[in-house]
Structure 1
Amino acid sequence: MDRRLGIAALFALMILRTPVAFAMLAVGYGGMYLLQGSRAASAVMVTQSYQAVSNYDLIVVPMFVLLGNVASEAGFSRALYDAAFAWVGRFRGGLASSSVLGCAVFSAVSGSSVATAVTIGKVAIPEMKRFGYGDGLSTGAIAAGGTLGFLIPPSTGFVLYAILTQQSVGRLFMAGILPGLLLMGLFMAAVAVIATLNPEAGPRGQHVALRERLILFGRAAPLLAIIGLSIGGIYVGAFTPVEASAIGAGLILLLAVGLRRLDFRGFAAALVETVRTSAMLYMVVIGADVLNPFLAVTHIPDALGQALTAAGLGSYGTLALIVLGYVVLGMFLDSLSMLVVTIPIVFPIIQTLGFDPIWFGVVAVIVVEMGLITPPVGLNVFVVRGVAPEVPMMTIFRGVTPFLIAMILGLLLIIAFPGIATVIPNSMFGR
């Protein structure tokens, strides 16, 4: 079986909207069957599937997803948004800035871009519409802010990257903190620029008295404390990311039940959504693990590495070509598909070039994030359209353009100054 035929079949299946997990399973199993026979293909299917689902690090996915779903069902996400609005809503474009801030904080709970965009969007978009915000700014801020869920820990993107490259989940989580804050700041700066150039797009919100601001902050404080305990506990070495996820999920359940914010119906809904999301991610990991032996047998990563070396582009020229490839793929594939299909191919090249694998994980996740708001796929754009169906799709895409520029600027800063991504993990774990 020609190796190019296998890759072509993989992309053809995904273009035909075959779920990425099953596309990888079909190509991985089918390729091994044609190359080495049914016995080898069956052995790969069984051993790789077991290895994938028995990975201890994957436990962070259902735990953190449960944490985010319970927080959403219990209404804690509304408290986060209200607190953010109380502090920054009075400034021009403040509602959009508070939406970005709310997305950033909720990202530290959910680890999912889609969940962040939906949860904050349901709360923020009606409020921005009520205050006369432009459709482009309001929807663009939510779509872009939601992408932070893929970067700010706990991030499903980092978990997948860690499993695919055998890197430390803890180091990757810590590496995402400063880049996540940097992108949040750049998004808020983009809001300020838009509101300055077009004051009607982002009028000032109502002034909230200090006493009321403190009360609203107090309502959000318990969830903020859980976030601080989970992420801070990892940083100080008190517990591992898996332990942090279990502690966070347990505490949010106790908090929701203790405050009578979660009934049985809400708990059941949170569990169902957690199982659905976790099952999808587990299937993607299984598919990737079954595909990897086929890639190894066909030597596709080696061939690509040799071709790029022969091109004589140098380290950063090769990196630029890889990033450009991600940008193009982001126009057609969803974020998880991009990671699981490309990382096994490009990661050996990155190692050969001598780049820090943790730093590249941050770069890859940010580039994948861009795909969430670029046409024609732009998953977060479609998600926001579902929350605000009256807003035309082109308006949302125009609205996210300034934020996409901000993401490009953030990516260039992280490439130019790698310490933004590596200083925290290096200070914790050493180089």
Structure 2
Amino acid sequence: MALAAGFILLVVLMVVGMPVAIALSISGAVGLYLVGGVDLAAGIVAATPLGSVNGFEWVMLPMFILMANLVMISGIGQDMFDIAKIWVGRIPGGLAHATAITGAGFGAISGSSTAAAATLASTTIPGMIKQGYNPQLAAGVVAISGTLSMLIPPSGAMVIYALLADMSVAHLLIAGVIPGLLVTLTIVLTVLFLIWRHPEHGPSAESYSWGEKIRSLRKAWTFMLLFAAVTVVIYTGVATPTEASALGALTALALSVLRGVTFKQVLNAARSAVETSCMLALIIVGAHLFVYFLTMTQAAQGLIGFLAEAGIDRFWILLFVLLMYLVLGCFMDLIAMLILTIPIVVPLMDSLGYDLIWVAILTIIMGEIGVLTPPLGMNVYVISSTTGMKLGDVFRGSVPHVIAHLILLAVLVAFPALVTWLPSTMD
């Protein structure tokens, strides 16, 4: 009874528009009261704020957010697009392919999907439309390419997942590398298919000589340095993910200064990082209150026991969970989805014998799809507000990529080693 009341209250509060952090806190506190009375609820509510965010590992979130903000104002994203455009712009749909490659590159030095979408939208869509690209195709490839920041390290979403699920942050971040590359390839193949059907939607761009292509790589050192400062040092074990996040933010700051970014711009980037981090901290506090409530009700154990008695094949349970994420993605952002589901889904998947890193990557990919699907579609709204395009056009341009993502998800379900191999090579 208490479990149902807590969930109903949470849904009602979110439907009426209450911020996720407040909705989680209120429903968690009320649920704790229903389970154990005033003393239990008051004790947990008093202790949770400090206990939720006082670990060093949470430092990663503000550092990765600051790094993303500094990368966005420094113009490194424009450099990556220019390099990709010179190398692949000549082939049909080349600017769209360059956008996908830039999205992968941006994802490797930024953990923010919305920052990536905003940067790509302002950097690439005007050039594609000027070149004669179909606006829906241009918007769709930008929307999906921005989601690569969720998957390719450093990913703020995967940091939150790992910390909430008590998993290795380093192994989960590195597990996103190969799937991230496969997602990039999927975007490119989808664009090729769309251009094959409608060649006029993606005309070829300017041709460049081999000399110009080689010279363009001189701009790549900033991206390579940032990639090495985070992903490489995590994979090799030179630094922990927390240390790597600080190193990445410091490197991004140094590059921003070298590229002429003003003190006011740096201050604004830091202020934005603080605001976003505080918002996430409030969500995490609310999430812990709600998780304590779920733990008291033994919701996960009850579900596991029910499914064990029912004798349902574990594949169908996995399929149901993935479909659940697909539906939830239509109505809430990835962070809210993770907070609500991890306390139940992770123990369930563990009891079924699934690799939890593999399950996490599948979940993040479902989150990528969620930021493209109506009615929420966070990246779609970002692109629409940045470019002035109609929401419907951006949503329609995203549909082929949603379908392609679901096909890739089926491949990763069939071949788990594509996810689990790289992290298994770490010390």
Q: Aligned residues: percent identity? A: 36
Q: CA deviation at 1:169?
A: 0.2
Q: Kindly report which structure 2 residues correspond to 1:6-405, keeping only aligned pairs within 5 A, or say none.
A: 6-257=6-257, 259-389=258-388, 391-405=389-403
Distance (Å, rounded) in 2 between the aligned partners of 1:34 and 1:406:
45
More divergent stretch after superposition (33-42 vs 200-209): 33-42
Name the aligned partner's letter for residue 227 of structure 1: F
Distance (Å, rounded) in 1 between the aligned partners of 2:202 and 2:307:
46
Distance (Å, rounded) in 2 between the aligned partners of 1:260 and 1:343:
41
Distance (Å, rounded) in 1 between the aligned partners of 2:283 and 2:68:
21
Name the aligned partner's letter for residue 412 of structure 1: A
Aligned length: 427
SS at match of 2:272: helix
Name the aligned partner's letter for residue 103 of structure 2: C
On the 8 A contact 2:29/2:45 being kept in 1, the answer is yes
SS at match of 1:333: coil
**Alpha-carbon spacing, 1:131–1:311, altered in 2? closer, same or farther (3 Å):** farther
Name the aligned partner's letter for residue 334 of structure 1: D
Distance (Å, rounded) in 2 between the aligned partners of 1:75 and 1:224:
15
Q: CA deviation at 1:290?
A: 1.1
**Alpha-carbon spacing, 1:214–1:261, altered in 2? closer, same or farther (3 Å):** farther
SS at match of 2:398: helix
Match of 1:409 among 401, 407, 410: 407
- Residue 424 of structure 1 is matched in structure 2 by 422
Q: CA deviation at 1:311?
A: 4.0
| Gapped regions of structure 2 (runs ≥ 5) | none
Q: CA RMSD in A?
A: 1.4
Distance (Å, rounded) in 2 between the aligned partners of 1:232 and 1:395:
38
Distance (Å, rounded) in 2 between the aligned partners of 1:395 and 1:311:
45
Distance (Å, rounded) in 1 between the aligned partners of 2:55 and 2:285:
11
SS at match of 1:376: coil
Structure-2-length-normalised TM-score:
0.97
On the 8 A contact 2:60/2:241 being kept in 1, the answer is yes
Name the aligned partner's letter for residue 328 of structure 1: V
Distance (Å, rounded) in 2 between the aligned partners of 1:316 and 1:384:
36
Distance (Å, rounded) in 1 between the aligned partners of 2:281 and 2:229:
27
Q: CA deviation at 1:382?
A: 1.0
Distance (Å, rounded) in 1 between the aligned partners of 2:327 and 2:131:
37
On the 8 A contact 1:339/1:368 being kept in 2, the answer is no
**Alpha-carbon spacing, 1:310–1:17, altered in 2? closer, same or farther (3 Å):** farther
More divergent stretch after superposition (36-45 vs 83-92): 36-45
More divergent stretch after superposition (30-39 vs 410-419): 30-39
Name the aligned partner's letter for residue 229 of structure 2: L
Name the aligned partner's letter for residue 360 of structure 1: V
Runs of 4+ aligned residues of structure 1 deviating over 6 Å after TM superposition are none
On the 8 A contact 2:164/2:342 being kept in 1, the answer is yes
Name the aligned partner's letter for residue 134 of structure 2: G
Distance (Å, rounded) in 2 between the aligned partners of 1:92 and 1:358:
37
Q: CA deviation at 1:36?
A: 1.9
Deviations 1:186-205 (A, max 9, x none): 01110111111101111111
Structure-1-length-normalised TM-score:
0.96
Name the aligned partner's letter for residue 422 of structure 2: I
Q: CA deviation at 1:310?
A: 4.0
On the 8 A contact 1:183/1:406 being kept in 2, the answer is no
On the 8 A contact 1:74/1:266 being kept in 2, the answer is no
Name the aligned partner's letter for residue 398 of structure 1: R
